Chains A and B, each alone.
Chain A
Amino acid sequence: MNRINFSYIAISGIIFLVLSFLVFFLPIKKKQKRILANFFSIATVLLFVYFIITLWINLERPPLRTLGETRLWYAVFLPIIGLITFYRWKYFWFLAYSNLMTVLFIYINLRHPEVYNKTLMPALQSPWFVPHVIVYILSYAILGVSWIVSITGLLKAYSNLSGFAKIISVILSPLYFLIHLFSEDDDESSEKILKMADNIVFIGFAFLTLGLLFGALWAKEAWGHYWTWDPKETWALLTFLVYLIYIHIRSYHKEKTKLHLWILSISFVFLLAAWFGVNYMPSAKNSVHTYSQQD
């Protein structure tokens, strides 16, 4: 599977996703819009599932090793999450968001096609490898969405303020605009937005927990110990801890919505650090997780 092939797939994917988004502007009934948007999202998922399978066969190993390869999975899971969330909680704008995010990831992959490397070091050849990484990617994708929701909530909460907050909200106003455009529900109080964030955070957090635990079980089989404070492990634990703080604060003071929104949006920084900051930190010199740097 070479780069040319990927460009075709990627561009078709982008077209599908953009279409799923543009149908909102069509002068047709809401129900028809939904059907069309769902159709295009599902088409994208199938397209990328097909691409990943061929890539997998071609590389003779699961394409889960480089950042570029993990972004591919993102392109599958984001629309799926968008669809599930839509069916479960009727958050329709959510589908539009996750599809836009997907476009972003595909675009990055197009611009920076990462080295597809066939060889896989022995320690990674484990039945735990695929579930461990997939569960992590899922959780990061979901928590990423909770970040978007938190930003939306913050914009909402500060929309009648002046100064700095105003500047931020102008910068982020496209997001705000979108939320309004696709919102089925006119009640957009911070509390309502947080309820939505809660659902998303709990689901993402459940996957994060599974990722940590699968990682521990695997590490025991491959490296002899389930927890070694490897920098990647430490940062994954940190992500777990900050979302834990969010969950507990939420359960205690339901009324402090602004505080919660802030905590939720800051938690995302830890997630980003865990995701791709780790390789660049001084503590990562001897990390078992920096294998992607060998290339």
Chain B
Amino acid sequence: MPKKNKRKLFNYPWKYKEGFVISGILIFLGLIIGYFYKNPVSFPSFPTNLSIIITYTLLLTAFYKFENNNKIIQWLASIPAAITSTVLFTILSVLLGFISQVSSGTINTNDIWYRLGFTHLTTSWLFVFAYLFFITSLGFATVKLFMPFKKKKIGLLFSHAGLYIIILAGIAGSGDNIRSYFVLGSNQDFTDKVKDFNSDIYYKTPFKLQLLKFDIVEYNPKVVLVDAKTGYLILPDNNKHFIIDKGEKAEFLNWIIEIKEFLKYSFPKDTLSSSFTEWNIIPALPSAYIEIYDKNNNLINKDWCTCGNFSIPRKNIWVNEDYYFAMLSPEPKEYSSDIKAILPDGSEERFTLKVNSPKTISGWKLYQTGYNEQMGKWSDYSVIEAGRDPWLPAVYTGIFLLIFGAFYLFWLGGKSINGNKQKHEK
């Protein structure tokens, strides 16, 4: 121990101090370059990205194999480098966890925090350098576990190689990734125009889409008691949301409400909404006929009420001057678009897109993402995300390697760390 303390900075063998000094230098460089470069950093696209990561991996391997007496290489493949690089990466992630980030579409190059990279960390030079240190250390660790290969180390090898592949393929992929969206109007012809997620750039897709029908399956709406003075929403006494349905009852404070009639899709018979009738086309909305009793079973009030929508006003039902019952707008359970597509070869295909069940056509993945929320069920357009991610198989390979590694850790427990000390401290 005392010997270690006397060692001067950057005398071999390097340990933690050097790692932290290097991290400091990297932060400094990141800030300076970021300040003058001004723009968010992006990774080059295919085929440059592929050649960069292959060259990089080969270089790591070659350096480790042929320069294995080089003290710096030894250090980069050691735990102190792994820890300092992880700490640097952790610090930047902490910043990312606390500071609100601006999307790269809204660039304000004069803002000092923006230029230094703090408000767009993931595309900043700070991150570039932190990644570089981290991935280099991880890469050398992976190579080190490979050479010489031991069966016993297979789980560790999979963890390190898995993470290495995920990060590299993820970064390289960012150069080729397209995230964009269609806005398909309900009475619109086929279109191949998509807008980029983060900028105002439009692309053309090799296929064309048309929206045949958009639909939402809705939950029945909830009813809450509202304190008119404060605007607070009060739940029933059992603290469970009260979801409306014909014949349902619930107790709120001193009152009991009973749903005498519930129409999931209806339309007011007159302008005062004094009564409703079933109706199933735009702009139908939920309505209910409600009776309110006090605890002694005296009828306090009865009336129709509705949550209102873009075309029909809301109608609450009052208990007294201080409280009223209100129906909340129904929440979507599922929304979907019926789509017709014309593929590049001229053939047609029909399919339904739902949240959580994307569809792949000609190498693009399509997702149901949004609609006109003001109009809800009667939305006049549907937003379809269209993405291309040619690196996905590589990322998934890494993910599955790492999953395997995780199972290995689970079985071995603390036995996963064996004999490292003797190796280093001899």
Contacts and interface: CB of A to CB of B under 8 A. Distances in A.
A252 B424 contact: yes
11 contacts: A116-B240, A119-B333, A122-B356, A202-B413, A202-B416, A206-B407, A213-B402, A229-B96, A242-B90, A248-B83, A285-B100
A123 B87 contact: no
B235 A283 contact: no
B97 interface: yes
B240 A115 contact: yes
A126 B356 contact: yes
Contact of B98 (A116, A199, A281): A281
Contacts of A281: 97-98
A138 B328 CA distance: 35
Interface residues of A, number: 65
Interface in A215-230: 216-217, 220-227, 229
Q: How large is the interface on B (under 10, 10 to 19, 20 to 34, 35 or more residues)?
A: 35 or more
A241 interface: yes
Interface stretch (A43-51, A100-108, A161-169, A231-239): A231-239
Interface of B: 79-80, 82-83, 86-87, 89-90, 93-94, 96-101, 122, 170, 177, 179, 219, 222, 235, 238-241, 243, 331-335, 354-358, 365, 367, 369, 385, 387, 389, 392, 395, 399, 402-403, 405-407, 409-410, 412-414, 416-417, 420-421, 424
B241 A125 contact: no
Given A3-B238, A248-B79, A283-B99, A118 B219 contact: yes
B179 A225 contact: yes
A121 B332 contact: yes
A251 B365 contact: no
Contacts of A200: 413
A249 interface: yes
B83 A224 contact: no
Contacts of B79: 248-249, 251-252
B343 to A, nearest CB: 21
Contacts of A199: 413-414
A87 to B, nearest CB: 13
Contacts of B389: 225
Interface in A252-294: 252-254, 273, 278, 281-283, 285
Contacts of B80: 252
Contacts of A198: 413-414, 417
B239 A203 contact: no
Contacts of B170: 227
A256 to B, nearest CB: 10
B414 to A, nearest CB: 3
A209 B82 CA distance: 18
B417 A229 contact: no
A179 interface: no
B355 A222 contact: yes
A221 B93 contact: no
Contacts of A241: 86, 89-90, 93
Contacts of B222: 119
B299 to A, nearest CB: 26
Contacts of B413: 89, 198-200, 202-203
